[in-house]
Amino acid sequence: MGKNIQAIRGMKDILPKEAEFWHYLESTLFDVAKSYGYSEIRFPILESTELFSRAIGEVTDIVEKEMYTFLDRNGDSLTLRPEGTASCVRAGIEHGLLFNQIQRFFYFGPMFRHERPQKGRYRQFHQFGVEAFGLSGPDIDAEVLAMSAQFWQRLGIADKVSLEINTLGDAKTRDKYRELLRDYFRANLAQLDQDSLHRLEFNPLRILDSKNPALAALIKGAPKIIDCLDGEPKAHFLELCDILDNLKIKYQVNPCLVRGLDYYCLTVFEWVTSELGAQGAVCAGGHYDGLVAELGGKSTPAIGFAMGIERLAELAQSKATALTKPKIYLALLGKNATKFGFALAENLRSDLPNFCFITNCGGGALSAQLKRADKSEAVLAIIIGDSELAKNQATVKYMRKGVSDTQVNFAELVTYLKNFGANYA
Ligand code: ATP
Ligand code: MG
């Protein structure tokens, strides 16, 4: 026998029960996004490596350490997408969707990052994200935040997440702030770790994003970007706060929130939870007004966020009930009944799309077939054998309730099941 081959570390299979729940999550997210006028966009899983290094920034965790990059058979450097925004912008530019237009998109799919696998952190994970182009906010900022709040409402987890916001101002704000930060961290050089020393040189803002607990106190004492803010970026931030207050969306201003990617400006935010241990960020995003131009398009303001579906699934877990269609098992005894039953099942599936019909395959005695029916979690078994065929009636057996078997004419089965479905909850 050959040796077992296992899934790649940090890449999870999603087994049928879980997949069913994911389906519910996805359709809820899609429904809500569509109700805000967002439309789905799909882009490839592989892109040129340059797309991500340019969009996300060379001195970021993702580009420095986490990308799955390889040369294909032509010698081109390709990367499995670590996030969706860069691809979305690339696709938008390529198809002429962005310049001078307002666009609202959402996407869903797997992302790949070579991180240390642990609970809530995988090497293949999934994100649902939205991106809005052509609007500079703060109204659009409020819209995407209101939409995310709506997700939590629909999924019944509004009490488990809280919103943190910050602003990165404009380029001028960040230039000023970078200098303040450099001075501050240079004065405390001995306390910095290797990563932060490196960031100090290239992008001192990213030190604030460090997950090293030894740096927490130093980071907490650092100058705050809000204090460098004035003019339009300040008005933008205050107006966003005002709209959020009016919407009664609670938030906390977190001055250390800078996000790990280079493309952000103005509003940045994260929805966090304390229920998932160390991996507390469920959904994160912000404005990225410079990215479209950085990737070769005409300058276009943009904002978006992405949420981790594995973390979301973990949070919303307890809501995973009653998502399935009621299952009906057709127990078919003998060749004639099997032939008849297969044709009947086709009709039932067309007439009753809200049910699931499982036809018995592989023959077997009635007792064996009912065992399979039980294992499939069917609520009813429709038994058809020679005597049922002779009488033109099916025997209907309740699998979950103490109701005795009943005979139903084949011609009346659809009506019978419709009534059964109406009372089934
Ligand atoms: P973290 O701080 O947890 O590393 P991040 O800032 O790298 O997150 P983003 O790039 O903003 O995350 O991605 C948005 C969301 O995607 C995160 O809030 C999280 O829910 C999810 N996510 C990111 N990386 C992973 C991963 N390796 N496994 C599972 N989910 C992830
Ligand atoms: Mg990360």
CATH number at residue 409: 3.40.50.800
Computed on alpha carbons and rounded to an integer, the radius of gyration of the chain in Å comes to 28
Q: Separation of 211 CA from ligand 1 center, angstroms?
A: 13
Q: Separation of 51 CA from ligand 1 center, angstroms?
A: 19
Q: Separation of 281 CA from ligand 1 center, angstroms?
A: 7
- 29, 136, 248, 359 from 37: Cα distances, Å: 13, 17, 22, 41
Q: Separation of 411 CA from ligand 1 center, angstroms?
A: 55
Pocket test for ligand 1, best of 121, 128, 148 (most atoms within 8 A of CB): 121
For residues 289 and 302, the answer to whether their CB atoms sit within 8 Å is yes
Q: Give the separation between CA 207 and CA 203, rounded to whole angstroms.
A: 8
Q: Give the separation between CA 381 and CA 241, rounded to whole angstroms.
A: 57
Pocket of ligand 1 (CB under 6 A): 83, 113, 115, 120-122, 125, 127, 260, 279, 281-284, 306-308, 310-311
Q: Whose CA is nearest to atom 7 of ligand 1?
A: 260
- Of 319, 338, 355, the one marking the end of a domain is 319
What is the reported pLDDT for 262? 72
- Of 319, 337, 361, the one marking the end of a domain is 319
Q: Whose CA is nearest to atom 29 of ligand 1?
A: 121
Q: What region, left, alpha or beta, does residue 37 occupy, with left being phi > 0 and alpha being psi -120 to 50 degrees? A: left
Q: Which ligand has the shortest distance to the CA of 81?
A: 1
- pLDDT tens-digit series, residues 142-175: 999 999 999 999 999 999 999 999 999 998 898 8
For residues 368 and 269, membership in a common domain is answered with no
What is the reported pLDDT for 318? 57
For residues 301 and 376, membership in a common domain is answered with no
Residue 266 forms part of a structural domain? yes
For residues 206 and 258, the answer to whether their CB atoms sit within 8 Å is yes
For residues 300 and 367, membership in a common domain is answered with no
What is the reported pLDDT for 285? 96
Q: Whose CA is nearest to atom 10 of ligand 1?
A: 83
What is the reported pLDDT for 102? 97
**Which ligand 1 atom sits closest to the C-alpha of 311?**
20
Token pair for residue 56?
Answer: 């996300």
- 32, 45, 134, 243 from 57: Cα distances, Å: 32, 19, 22, 32
Q: Looking only at Cα atoms, what is the longest distance across the chain? A: 93
What is the reported pLDDT for 317? 82
Pocket test for ligand 1, best of 14, 22, 127 (most atoms within 8 A of CB): 127
For residues 303 and 391, membership in a common domain is answered with no
Percent of the chain with pLDDT over 70: 97
What is the reported pLDDT for 284? 96
Q: Give the separation between CA 115 and CA 6, rounded to whole angstroms.
A: 19
**Which ligand 1 atom sits closest to the C-alpha of 120?**
29
Residue 238 forms part of a structural domain? yes
Q: Separation of 61 CA from ligand 2 center, angstroms?
A: 7
For residues 378 and 310, membership in a common domain is answered with no
- pLDDT tens-digit series, residues 385-416: 999 999 999 999 999 888 899 999 999 999 99
Q: Write the CATH number for 32.
A: 3.30.930.10
**Which ligand 1 atom sits closest to the C-alpha of 209?**
2
CB atoms within 10 A of CB 420: 18
Residue 54 forms part of a structural domain? yes
Range of the domain at 58: 16-169+229-319
Counted domains in the chain: 2
**Which ligand 1 atom sits closest to the C-alpha of 281?**
18
For residues 139 and 26, membership in a common domain is answered with yes
Residue 290 forms part of a structural domain? yes
For residues 250 and 340, membership in a common domain is answered with no
**Which ligand 1 atom sits closest to the C-alpha of 61?**
7
Residue 71 forms part of a structural domain? yes
Residue 343 forms part of a structural domain? yes
Handedness of CA 47, 48, 52, 54 (dihedral sign): negative
- 21, 122, 160, 281, 316 from 275: Cα distances, Å: 19, 18, 7, 10, 11
Q: Spell out the per-residue pLDDT of the chain, length 425, in tens.
A: 789 999 999 999 999 889 989 999 999 999 999 999 999 999 999 999 999 999 988 878 888 899 999 999 999 999 999 999 999 999 999 999 999 999 999 999 999 999 999 999 999 999 999 999 999 989 999 999 999 999 999 999 999 999 999 999 998 898 899 999 999 999 999 999 998 998 888 888 889 988 889 999 999 999 999 889 989 999 999 999 999 999 999 999 999 898 767 788 999 999 999 988 888 999 999 999 999 999 999 999 999 999 999 999 999 985 555 557 899 999 999 999 999 999 999 999 999 999 999 999 999 999 999 999 999 999 999 999 999 999 999 999 999 888 899 999 999 999 999 998 887 75
Half-sphere exposure of 294 (CA within 13 A, CB side): 20
- Of 257, 289, 319, the one marking the end of a domain is 319
